Structure 1
Amino acid sequence: MQLTSPFGAVFDLTEIDRHRWRARVDDTWRGWTGPHGGVIAGLAVAAAESAVGDEVAVRALDLRFLGRPRDGELTLRAERHPVGRTTHVVDIAVLQDEDTVAAASVTLGRTRAGTIDDRFDRTAPQVPAPDACALFRLPTDIVPAAAHFEIRPAAGPLPLTGSDETCMTVWTALIPELPLDAPSLAVLADALPPAIFPALTAPVAVPTVTMSLHVHTDDFDPLARRALVRAANVSTGGGWSVDDIDIWDERGRLLATARQSRRVLG
């Protein structure tokens, strides 16, 4: 059964057996060395949502890359673990030719009223509106998946400009247009180049090894498409680089935060 969500339809995410799905990631979604890492994260989230059902919302994702996936067909296998009456943890194995190329743990839980007031301590920066920001195109001959992102820099330096700053803030949306939901947020968390790139003047391979994502709401606007994404380098040294990513909607609501650990291969 093919998933009816817009995200699932883009990648032909189809349930082929109980808690097993097939997806296809074509070469237009290729990143530096293989399928875009955010797409694999989004597929893991979408499979976990399908495994549990509509009654719970995605709260967190922890993803580890265990191999080098290739363009083409992927198989996702889910193992569901209920935790009490309100929480589920779904372990996802992402396979290609029976080799596990990535593994993820997705936490989902019901929304309920609590005794503590809602609060969000990470405020969206004051930046121009999306349409006031010029389009910026990453080179698709190096990263074909860049064609699937509308990117409008809103603050901070651009990649490969030799800046003293190691952060980027952009308005971005997916192409084709997809609503801002948990799978799409996983992709957008990996939309930008590594946050060390503004300090560089030539590209270096900095592949993701681990990615964590925390989703702060399940109240998504079904008409929203654009998000404000800020990526900041926390540290780079010893052949490793760590980035923090924050994602807000156009109303300034914090949707998700993420962290990536990367190898520096250059």
Structure 2
Amino acid sequence: MAHVFDDAVAVKPGENGVFHAHTHDAYNNMVGPYGGITAATVVHALQQHPDALGDPLALTLNYAAPVANGAWDLHTEIVRTNRTNQHWTFRIVQNDATVSTGSAVFGPHRDTWSDTEAVRPEAPAPMEVEDKDFPDFIAWDKNYEMRFVTGWLDGSVKTDDSTSTVWLRDRPERPLDYPALASMADAFFPRAFLRHGTYLPAGTISLTTYFHASPDELAAHGTGHLLGTARAARFAGGHFDQDAQLWGGDVLLATTHQLVYFKDPTT
């Protein structure tokens, strides 16, 4: 029996670099599908392209309009390929209208010098932290264990710090791969919610994820929990940034950055 995540990211190859996809009710969000599952579907489709070089290194997805529940098409184009990287552009088209645009970089992993300057947050073991659920009108989080170490939104308390640190993994368990990593990179609710202690009208405008993990590191991680941490730097003019890290043990597997719009609850 297929995992619900695999059903949700399934695509059918068409002609001229087009892939056909369909939203999945299990990953519905407040408006349309969860943005992370859309990103995951794009990654999965690009990996299926017969001319793909290596593995995903970076993905940028610009949400120009909400994706509606139903069928959508991914139009892909390879812009340039060299020995170390491959550049893509793509569009998501639904009902003859472009609803998202983006770019991706693929490439092989080479044996080079490496170091990690980022510091993994301190956290108790996953099973020592309570598994939390969002309200029922958010469907996608039911597909994840989400064990908040800090920064849980309890719906009433305003905070001066937008940081959340959380243990994450698929529910039911599923071996980690690049599409799953792309999806979990968007698993952090908008930081403005935490600052105001309540849900607000908000949504991602642009999401960029950098995949640091090699295929061997993903395989070694298996079905274990990821430790994710996210925060914002500035809220102004109806927008804010949001950056996050995803750790597998002591290995930094991915980093991500978002631009998010929000409606000011005080006006």
TM-score relative to the length of structure 2: 0.89
Please list every run of 5 or more consecutive structure 2 residues that lacks an aligned counterpart in the other structure: none
Q: Which amino acid aligns with 1:248?
A: W
Residues 27-36 or 230-239, more deviating:
27-36
Question: Structure 1 residues 84, 54: closer, same or farther in 2, change over 3 A?
Answer: closer
Give CA-to-partner distance per residue, 1:46-70, whole Å, 9 cap, x none: 1222225575011101111111211
Q: Specify the code of the residue in structure 2 equivalent to 1:205.
A: P
Deviation at 1:10, TM superposition (A): 3.5
Q: Match of 2:258, SS?
A: strand
Aligned to 1:20: 18
What amino acid sits opposite 1:244 in the alignment?
D
* Cα distance in 2, alignment partners of residues 203 and 98 from structure 1: 32
- Number of residue pairs matched by the alignment: 259
Residue 159 of structure 1 contacts residue 199 of structure 1 at CA under 8 Å; is this kept in 2? no
1:146 pairs with 124, 141, 145, which one? 141
Conserved? CA contact 2:192–2:262, under 8 Å: no
Q: Which string of whole-angstrom CA distances, capped at 9 and with x for unpartnered residues, describes residues 179-223 of structure 1?
A: 222211111111121122222132101100001111112131262
Q: Distance in 1 between matches of 2:154 and 2:261?
A: 18
Change (3 A) 1:147 1:157: closer
1:51-66 alignment to 2 at 5 Å?
A: 51=49, 56-66=54-64
Which residue of 2 is the match for residue 195 of structure 1? 191
Check if 1:174 corresponds to 2:173.
no
In the TM superposition, what whole-angstrom CA distance separates every residue of 1:95-116 from its partner, at most 9, and x where no partner exists?
11121111121100111123xx
Q: Structure 1 residues 34, 85: closer, same or farther in 2, change over 3 A?
A: same
Q: Give the SS at the match of 1:131.
A: helix
From 110, 131, 138, give the equivalent of 1:135: 131
Aligned residue runs from structure 1 range 68-147, under 5 A: 68-114=66-112, 117-141=113-137, 143-147=138-142
* Equivalent AA in structure 1 for residue 8 of structure 2: V
Instruction: Provide the rounded CA distance (Å) in 2 between the counterparts of 1:88 and 1:7.
Output: 27
Counterpart code for 1:208: T
Deviation for aligned residue 1:134? 0.6
Residues 176/93 of structure 1: CA separation in 2 closer, same or farther (3 Å cut): farther
Flag as ranges the 4+ runs of structure 1 deviating above 6 A.
none
Instruction: Please state how far the C-alpha of 1:260 moved relative to its aligned partner.
Output: 0.6
Partner AA of 2:177 in structure 1: D
TM-score, with structure 1 as normaliser: 0.90
Q: Is the 8 A contact 1:241 1:262 kept in 2?
A: yes
Q: The residue matched to 2:89 in structure 1 has which SS?
A: strand
* Identity of matched residues, %: 24
Residue 11 of structure 1, CA deviation:
3.2
Match for 2:256: what amino acid? A
